[in-house]
């Protein structure tokens, strides 16, 4: 029996990160910024010196529509990276940093599991190297400068009813979604409605993950639109002279973080936007570093391919000029049962009929990757002890009929040895030369047509709709010169629709856009659909109630 995840991670014997960096990546000690013995940042200046080195092959790991517990994309990235190294391909993985929200909320830790983990697990899941704190500080500095400017005479003419820049906190806290600030009289500024988003929803987080250099970071921060004047013209961070100080707060956060897997293979973990409310990918800087440092760079995008992969291709690859060679679509029997209608305890019991009913969901994700985006893809069935061979046979028959490759992977229980077949299949696919990345829209298409294109081609929807006031906002952004930006759709991860109750592969539904937000610095327009929230709440029994530490400093309950 496989021991608990935390026990496996805590038992790992780790060599100093400097030794791993030298031996596995050729990174000298003076190019590392150590954070203790087991983690470090790689200096951005040293990475720029690799520009002339050829890129490795880029593999994206994405997934079918998940259950709330997640289907193990992170463990697949880790297991695949370990297995590629095992078969002689030098691989570097690039992951997102966990947010404290889900760590203490529903999902617990997010550093992998079983024999496929990145370590030091506790550090990665908690404060790590302080990147999230830096993002929060930079974001909240701008919020403070907005209110301070209004308090001291408002020379820019900010309309306090049209301030769009909320505050952020890296914790799920529903009570902070809508608040009133400035109470207590004139010494405390002007009273106005405000609110908090979670840090991963911050435009500063998106900017950190899309910036290619310090100069690009600073320029993007300057373009942030914080609100409007009474005449509707935009007020930016540059107008408030905030972008320089914000960039200073992010001066260390921009360096990518280096850790390792349990099998002592290098892992870059940098940035952490959620794909249901942001673009859901780790940083461009880390991805490019992985491409320069390895024969293979394996990265992930959040939630199902309708969210994470769509944004990876349409936003990250478009902005950064990345060209993926292959995609791995993660599926589990549990998720297939769920899409086939299973609920509660039935999700854990074998049910070939439910699996068969759930297959249209998997098949649509696969079609989107291969046909809509033009990226060669295979399906990795994330296997767990107790999985039913009868259910696996159902999936194999269906994918064989679709001309698709299915590979079972047992990395969770067996580490890299259990993912060798997956690694060999990925190498064959990535080296086939069949990738021809296509986008969901043209740059010159209007914003609303870009939203409609995603809804129809990726979600299978009949159309999109919105209240007249929301449509007017979109039209105003179009007139103001933001029409060439990509759209970033914030919607439920639990369905192709904006209604999470619609399972499988629904068609004919209408995607409802509730709110529109401009992220001019990040370079996209956010379309918030259905009931999606940018500040989650804690569940009835949050993971925080299981997490503890003993007198010797050993943490328990994080998984």
The verdict on whether 73 is a catalytic residue reads yes
Q: Give the burial class of 326: count Cβ atoms within 10 A of its Cβ; 0-12 exposed, 13-18 middle, 19 or more buried.
A: buried
Element counts in the chain: helices (H) and strands (E)? 20, 25
- Which entry of 22, 86, 384, 544 is annotated as an active-site residue? 384
d(CA 515, CA 293): 41
Q: What is the CATH number of the domain that holds 380?
A: 3.40.50.300
Better-scored residue on pLDDT, 8 or 20: 20
Residues 297 and 424 placed together within one structural domain of the fold:
yes
- Please give the residue range of the domain that contains residue 516: 447-529
| Residues β-bridged to residue 232 | none
Question: Dihedral through CA 245, CA 247, CA 251, CA 256, nearest 10?
Answer: 160
Judged by phi (left if over 0) then psi (alpha if -120 to 50, else beta), residue 351 lies in beta
Residues 161 and 232 placed together within one structural domain of the fold:
yes
- Which entry of 107, 162, 192, 514 is annotated as an active-site residue? 107
Residues 306 and 274 placed together within one structural domain of the fold:
yes
The verdict on whether 311 is a catalytic residue reads no
The verdict on whether 303 is a catalytic residue reads yes
Last residue of a domain, one of 205, 231, 249: 249
The verdict on whether 96 is a catalytic residue reads yes
Q: Answer whether residue 196 is part of any domain.
A: yes
The verdict on whether 75 is a catalytic residue reads yes
Residues 504 and 475 placed together within one structural domain of the fold:
yes
Residue 1 binned pLDDT confidence (cut-offs 50, 70, 90)? low
d(CA 315, CA 236): 22
Q: What is the CATH number of the domain that holds 200?
A: 3.30.1510.10
Residues 32 and 123 placed together within one structural domain of the fold:
yes
Q: Give the burial class of 515: count Cβ atoms within 10 A of its Cβ; 0-12 exposed, 13-18 middle, 19 or more buried.
A: middle
Structural domain tally of the chain?
3
Question: What confidence score (pLDDT) does residue 106 get?
Answer: 77
The verdict on whether 107 is a catalytic residue reads yes
- Which entry of 128, 165, 313, 412 is annotated as an active-site residue? 412
Percentage of the chain beyond pLDDT 70 is 99
Residues 396 and 451 placed together within one structural domain of the fold:
no
Residue 385 binned pLDDT confidence (cut-offs 50, 70, 90)? confident
* Cβ within 8 Å of residue 59, ≥6 positions away: 80, 296, 297, 298, 299, 324, 325, 326, 327, 328, 426, 430
Q: In the predicted model, what is the mean pLDDT of residues 79-89?
A: 98
Q: In the predicted model, what is the mean pLDDT of residues 439-443?
A: 96
Question: Dihedral through CA 230, CA 231, CA 235, CA 240, nearest 10?
Answer: -60
Query: What is the enclosing helix (H) or strand (E) of 57?
Result: strand 57-63
Q: In the predicted model, what is the mean pLDDT of residues 114-135?
A: 95
Residues 221 and 104 placed together within one structural domain of the fold:
no
Q: Answer whether residue 9 is part of any domain.
A: no
d(CA 19, CA 256): 17
Q: In the predicted model, what is the mean pLDDT of residues 5-16?
A: 82
Q: Answer whether residue 540 is part of any domain.
A: no
Q: Answer whether residue 53 is part of any domain.
A: yes
d(CA 122, CA 549): 11
Q: Answer whether residue 548 is part of any domain.
A: no
- Which entry of 39, 96, 228, 383 is annotated as an active-site residue? 96
Q: Is the pLDDT of residue 355 over 70?
A: yes
Sign of CA dihedral 301, 305, 311, 312: positive
- Which entry of 104, 132, 165, 303 is annotated as an active-site residue? 303
pTM of the model: 0.96
Nearest alpha carbon to residue 558 among 4, 2, 3? 4
d(CA 189, CA 183): 8
- Which entry of 275, 425, 453, 461 is annotated as an active-site residue? 275
Question: DSSP string of 352-412?
Answer: HHHHHHHHHHHHHHHHIIIIIS---EEEEEE--TT--HHHHHHHHHHHHHTT--EEEE-HH
For the segment 45-64, what is each residue's pLDDT rounded down to a tens digit? 999 999 999 999 999 999 99
Residue 126 CB neighbour total at 10 angstroms? 17
Residues 144 and 117 placed together within one structural domain of the fold:
no
Residues 138 and 169 placed together within one structural domain of the fold:
yes
CB 92 within 8 A of CB 272: no
- Which entry of 39, 73, 167, 223 is annotated as an active-site residue? 73
Average pLDDT over all residues of the chain: 95
For the segment 200-255, what is each residue's pLDDT rounded down to a tens digit? 999 999 999 999 999 999 999 999 999 999 999 999 999 999 999 999 999 999 99
Q: Answer whether residue 12 is part of any domain.
A: no
188-222 exposure pattern, b = at least 16 Cβ within 10 A, e = fewer:
ebeeeebebbbbbbbbbbbbbbbbbeeeebbbbbb
Q: What is the CATH number of the domain that holds 468?
A: 3.10.410.10
E strand map for 410-506? 463-466, 487-490
Q: Answer whether residue 545 is part of any domain.
A: no
Residues 385 and 413 placed together within one structural domain of the fold:
yes
* Cβ within 8 Å of residue 455, ≥6 positions away: 461, 463, 464, 511
Q: Answer whether residue 40 is part of any domain.
A: yes
CB 448 within 8 A of CB 516: no
d(CA 232, CA 253): 34
Residues 113 and 160 placed together within one structural domain of the fold:
no
Place of tokens 């679709």: 402
The verdict on whether 448 is a catalytic residue reads no
Residues 97 and 156 placed together within one structural domain of the fold:
no
Residue 511 CB neighbour total at 10 angstroms? 25
């Amino acid at each position: 029996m496989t021991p608990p995840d935390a026990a496996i991670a805590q038992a790992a014997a780790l060599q100093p990160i400097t030794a791993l960096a030298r031996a596995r990546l050729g990174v000298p000690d003076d190019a590392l910024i150590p954070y203790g013995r087991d983690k470090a940042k790689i200096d951005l200046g040293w990475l720029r010196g690799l520009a002339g080195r050829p890129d490795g092959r880029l593999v994206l790991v994405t997934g079918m529509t998940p259950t709330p517990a997640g289907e193990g994309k992170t463990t697949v990235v880790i297991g695949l990276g370990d297995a590629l190294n095992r078969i002689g391909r030098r691989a570097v993985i690039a992951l997102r940093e966990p947010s404290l929200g889900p760590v203490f909320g529903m999902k617990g830790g997010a550093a992998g599991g079983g024999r496929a983990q990145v370590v030091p697990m506790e550090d990665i899941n908690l404060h790590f190297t302080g990147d999230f704190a830096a993002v929060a500080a930079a974001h909240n500095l701008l919020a403070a400068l907005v209110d301070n400017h209004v308090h001291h005479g408002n020379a820019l003419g900010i309309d306090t009813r049209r301030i769009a820049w909320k505050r952020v906190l890296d914790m799920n806290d529903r009570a902070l979604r809508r608040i009133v600030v400035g109470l207590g009289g004139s010494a405390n500024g002007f009273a106005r409605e405000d609110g908090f988003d979670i840090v991963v929803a911050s435009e500063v987080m998106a900017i950190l993950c899309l910036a290619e250099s310090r100069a690009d970071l600073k320029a993007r921060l300057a373009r942030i639109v914080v609100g409007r004047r009474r005449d509707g013209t935009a007020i930016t961070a540059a107008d408030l002279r905030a972008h320089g100080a914000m960039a200073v707060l992010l001066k260390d956060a921009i360096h990518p973080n280096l850790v390792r897997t349990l099998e002592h293979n290098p892992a870059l973990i940098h940035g952490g936007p959620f794909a249901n409310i942001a673009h859901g990918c780790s940083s461009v800087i880390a991805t490019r570093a992985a491409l320069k440092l390895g024969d293979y760079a394996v990265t992930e995008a959040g939630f199902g391919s309708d969210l994470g992969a769509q944004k990876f291709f349409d936003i990250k690859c478009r902005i950064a000029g990345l060209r993926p060679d292959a995609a791995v679509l993660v599926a589990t029997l549990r998720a297939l049962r769920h899409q086939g209608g299973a609920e509660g305890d039935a999700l854990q019991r074998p049910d070939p009929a439910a699996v068969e009913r759930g297959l249209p969901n998997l098949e649509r994700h696969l079609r989107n990757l291969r046909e809509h985006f033009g990226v060669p893809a295979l399906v990795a069935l994330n296997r767990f002890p107790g999985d039913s061979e009868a259910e696996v046979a159902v999936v194999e028959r269906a994918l064989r009929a679709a001309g698709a490759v299915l590979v079972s992977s047992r990395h969770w229980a067996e580490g890299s040895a259990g993912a060798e077949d997956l690694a060999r299949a990925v190498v064959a696919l990535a080296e086939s030369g069949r990738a021809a990345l296509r986008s969901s829209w043209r740059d010159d298409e209007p914003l609303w047509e870009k939203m409609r294109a995603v809804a129809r081609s990726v979600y299978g929807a009949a159309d999109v709709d919105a209240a007249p006031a929301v449509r007017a906002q979109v039209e105003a952004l179009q007139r103001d010169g933001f029409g060439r930006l990509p759209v970033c759709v914030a919607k439920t991860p639990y369905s192709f629709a904006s209604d999470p109750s619609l399972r499988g592969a629904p068609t004919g539904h209408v995607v409802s856009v509730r709110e529109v937000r401009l992220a001019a610095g990040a370079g996209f327009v956010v379309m918030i659909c259905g009931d999606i929230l940018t500040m989650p709440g804690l569940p009835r029994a949050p993971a925080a109630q299981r997490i503890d530490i003993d007198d010797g400093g050993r943490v328990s309950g994080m998984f």
